[in-house]
């Protein structure tokens, strides 16, 4: 998994998303959206499972993972909740490793550094941040 804290010379978020449209599974997130590696891995895993079981909401893996990360079923509210708001400061996440040089050229990146995420995060009571986030994602689509 590739997780980078980036800045781009793109004129705005719409241009950044257009530039990254060919990157399969790419997420453009707010820097405050993700706290642990396991949370990101679980979002992509749950998205793949949704496609396998044909319970997916979106037609793209990256959008489905975004829905799981935000614990939403509406893409617009998920994008507002955890999507990037600026091309100057965002997190790029992708399940596959992509050469950083190719990303810099494609996304017009002015800076890109590995985001230092912890594996599970800090303890919150008997559980870690990652465990709580994964539980929330997994149960987010259960309907009464």
Note the pLDDT tens digit of each residue in 63-74.
999 999 999 999
pTM exceeds 0.85: yes
The pLDDT tens digits for 5-56 are 999 999 999 999 999 998 989 999 999 998 899 999 999 999 999 999 999 9
Closest CA to 8 of 114, 108, 79: 108
Domain ranges of the chain: 2-139
pLDDT surpasses 80 at 134 = yes
Residue 114 reports pLDDT greater than 50 = yes
- Give the pLDDT confidence of 80-104 residue by residue, as tens digits: 999 999 999 999 999 998 999 999 9
pLDDT reported for residue 144: 43
Q: Which CATH architecture fits 2-139? A: 2-Layer Sandwich (3.30)
């Amino acid at each position: 998994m590739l997780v980078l804290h980036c800045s781009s010379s793109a004129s705005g978020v719409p241009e950044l998303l257009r530039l990254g449209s060919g990157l399969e599974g790419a997420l453009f997130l707010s820097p405050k959206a993700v706290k642990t590696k396991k949370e990101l891995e679980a979002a992509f895993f749950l998205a793949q499972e949704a496609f396998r079981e044909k319970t997916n909401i979106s037609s793209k893996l990256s959008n489905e993972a975004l829905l799981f990360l935000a614990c939403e079923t509406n893409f617009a509210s998920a994008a507002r909740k955890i999507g990037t708001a600026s091309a100057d400061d965002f997190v790029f996440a992708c399940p596959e490793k992509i050469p950083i040089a190719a990303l810099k050229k494609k996304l017009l990146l002015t800076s890109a550094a590995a985001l230092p995420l912890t594996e599970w995060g800090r303890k919150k009571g008997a559980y870690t941040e990652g465990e709580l986030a994964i539980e929330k994602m997994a149960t987010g689509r259960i309907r009464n």
